[in-house]
Amino acid sequence: MKSGTLPSCEVIDLLEEHKVNRFIPLRLPCVGRVPTEFYVESILAGITKILMIQCDLVSCRMKKGSDNSSVKIETVRELLDELDYGEDVFTVIENPLKAEYFTEKCVGCDKCVFICPYKAIKAQPLATPEIDLELCRGCGACALICPHLAIQLRGFEFDPSVDAMHNLMSELESKTGNDVPKILVYCCQWSEFTELDNAKSGFLRDNVAIVEIPCANGLDPVQVMDAFRAGFDGVFVAVCKEEDCKLKEGRMTADVNFEAIDKTLKQLEMLDRFEIVNHSPRYVDGFKAKLDSFISKISKLPEKGSWGEA
């Protein structure tokens, strides 16, 4: 079970590290909301191991999530100890997103130092900056501003994500005809749970591909433009409501980037093929309704050319 914290691909890798081959996934807005009896009853029902992946306590977005989680973890461990279960039956991993630094690509421009909202990156005299991973909260602002891709978020690296998007487009073309609009969805991992969990190999439907992003501010405008170059007819972005945003300090970065995307698409007369929606997993089926509305709108637009000319 996990809170947002990691992209789905990284969770699979983590499970393999813990030699977990068969599992029941459970994505939650906050593991601190799970009642203590759930853990104990799960073990008694036959579950052999519970692996909890949670945010680090400092960056928990739920007001009481960290405190609740700490108390419940201790209580669960005491109960399982009394029932003579081993320590490895209940494992807790604090594994938030962290920046990954490729120093050989860094040119020492120090843009990352000024953009980091958590003061996790320190400038060094006559050397490349240093990242304090204890302070890093994985907001992605540094990755977005770095001109040489020297800093990226593990699991959300720029080049692989672009390659994956092109691969998704190729698969869509083999599944659908030319009369069906092909949609790419970028979805913040905190804004929607059900659709991300139900997505099969990167697809929500035969004509809808989905890419999970750690936060709205981690969406590079270049990736949106490249989606249209690849042939997608529309790009749909689902982000948290402002009051729910886990990385509030990074929200300004997202707003600036979305404004840049809007201006560019407006000049290309493609703005009606791009839509950003605020969503919360609290509203069941709300994501589906908004996506259906967007697809309906795209299907009524004139066919676009190779670079958006109608």
Strands (E), 40-103: 50-54, 90-94, 99-101
Whether pLDDT at 248 is above 60: no
Over the Cα atoms of the chain, what is R_g? 21
- Residue 296, SS3 per DSSP: helix
In the block, tokens 């609290």 appear at: 282
Query: How confident is the model at residue 310, as a pLDDT?
Result: 45
Average pLDDT over residues 37-64: 77
Report the mean per-residue pLDDT for the chain.
Answer: 79
Query: How confident is the model at residue 9, as a pLDDT?
Result: 52
Residue 109 token pair: 């421009």
Average pLDDT over residues 104-126: 89
Query: How confident is the model at residue 56, as a pLDDT?
Result: 65
Whether the model clears a pTM of 0.85, i.e. scores above it, the answer is no
Query: How confident is the model at residue 96, as a pLDDT?
Result: 57
Q: For 184-209, how does the pLDDT look when each residue is reduced to its tens digit (9 = 90+)?
A: 999 887 787 777 777 777 888 889 99
Q: For 275-286, how does the pLDDT look when each residue is reduced to its tens digit (9 = 90+)?
A: 999 888 777 778
C-beta separation of 52 from 65 below 8 A:
no
**Residue of 62, 52, 133 whose CA lies nearest to 99:** 133
Whether pLDDT at 295 is above 80: yes
- More confidently predicted of 108 and 5: 108
Domains of the chain: 8-94 (no CATH), 99-153 (3.30.70.20), 158-299 (3.40.50)
Whether pLDDT at 73 is above 50: yes
Lowest mean pLDDT among 29-33, 148-152, 169-173: 29-33
Q: Cα–Cα distance between 117 and 101 in angstroms, integer?
A: 17
Query: How confident is the model at residue 143, as a pLDDT?
Result: 80
Q: Cα–Cα distance between 161 and 48 in angstroms, integer?
A: 35
Whether pLDDT at 124 is above 80: yes
**Residue of 23, 28, 16 whose CA lies nearest to 61:** 28
Could you count the other beta carbons within 10 Å of the beta carbon of residue 224? 21
Query: How confident is the model at residue 294, as a pLDDT?
Result: 96
Query: How confident is the model at residue 185, as a pLDDT?
Result: 92
Whether pLDDT at 101 is above 70: yes
Q: Cα–Cα distance between 95 and 6 in angstroms, integer?
A: 7
Whether pLDDT at 249 is above 60: no
SS3 content of the chain, % helix, strand, coil (to 5): 45, 20, 40
**Helices 221-230, 158-175: inter-axial angle, 10-degree rounding:** 30
- More confidently predicted of 263 and 295: 295
